[in-house]
Chain A
Amino acid sequence: MRLWKLIMAGTLALGILFPASAQDPRAEAESLARENRLLAKRAELAEGKDFYLLLDPSRGKLLLMLKNAILQDFTVEKLEVGLPTVIFKTRNPDSEWQGEIWSNGELDPPRTLEREVIIAPPPTREGVELQVKVPPTPEEKYPVPARYWIRFDGGLAIEIRTTQADPKVDSWTRLKVGFEHWLADAQMALSGEPTDQVRIRLRLPASQAQSLFRGLPPKVKLLVLPRTH
Chain B
Amino acid sequence: MAAEPVPAPDAPPSPGDSDLAPVNPPRKKRRLWRWVFGLLLLLVVLAAGAAGILAYGTGYIYQTLPPAREQAVDQIPDAAEEPQAFLTDQQQQQQKYLTVLDKANPHENYIVIDSTQNWIFVRNGEDVLLDARCSTGSQHILRTPKKDYIFDTPRGVFRVNQRLTSPVWNRPVWDFYERGMIPPAEKSAWVEEGTLGEYALYLEDGFMIHGTLYERLIGRSVTHGCIRVGKEPLRKIWELTKIGTPVFIF
Contact residues of A with B, CB < 8 Å?
Answer: 25-26, 28-30, 32-37, 39-40, 42-43, 46-47, 49, 51, 57, 64, 66-73, 79-90, 96, 98-99, 111, 113, 115-128, 130, 132, 134-138, 142, 182, 185-186, 188-190, 196, 199, 201, 211, 214-215, 217, 226-229
Contact = CB atoms under 8 A, between A and B. Distances in A.
Interface of B: 54-55, 57-73, 76, 79, 83-84, 86-87, 90-91, 93-94, 96-98, 100-101, 104-106, 110, 112, 114, 116-118, 123, 125-126, 138-145, 150, 155-157, 176-182, 214, 217, 219-222, 246, 248, 250
A89 B214 CA distance: 61
B143 A120 contact: yes
Given A71-B112, A82-B62, A128-B179, 10 more contacts: A29-B86, A35-B94, A66-B156, A66-B157, A67-B248, A83-B63, A84-B60, A98-B65, A120-B143, A134-B220
Nearest to B64: A80
A130 B178 contact: yes
Q: Is the interface of B mostly helix, strand, loop or mixed?
A: mixed
B134 to A, nearest CB: 11
A148 to B, nearest CB: 15
A168 to B, nearest CB: 21
Contacts of A138: 116-118, 219, 221
B32 to A, nearest CB: 37
A204 to B, nearest CB: 15
Contacts of B93: 36, 40
Contacts of B179: 121, 127-128, 130
Contact of B126 (A73, A80, A188): A73
Contacts of A120: 142-145, 177-178, 180
8 shortest interchain CB distances as A-B pairs: A121-B180, A226-B68, A127-B181, A88-B57, A82-B60, A39-B97, A68-B104, A46-B104
Contacts of B96: 43
Contacts of A73: 126
B62 A80 contact: yes
Contacts of A122: 180
Nearest to B135: A135
Contacts, number: 225
8 contacts: A32-B87, A117-B143, A120-B177, A122-B180, A123-B182, A125-B182, A127-B181, A135-B221
B58 A86 contact: yes
A226 to B, nearest CB: 3
Contact of A116 (B76, B141, B182): B141
Given A66-B250, A69-B110, A138-B221, A43 B101 contact: yes
Contacts of B84: 25
Contact of A29 (B59, B65, B68, B87): B87
Nearest to B126: A70
Contacts of B126: 70, 73
Nearest to A71: B112
B178 to A, nearest CB: 6
Contacts of B66: 81, 227
Nearest to B115: A215
Given A99-B68, A120-B143, A124-B180, A83 B60 contact: yes
A205 to B, nearest CB: 16
B83 to A, nearest CB: 4
A29 B140 contact: no
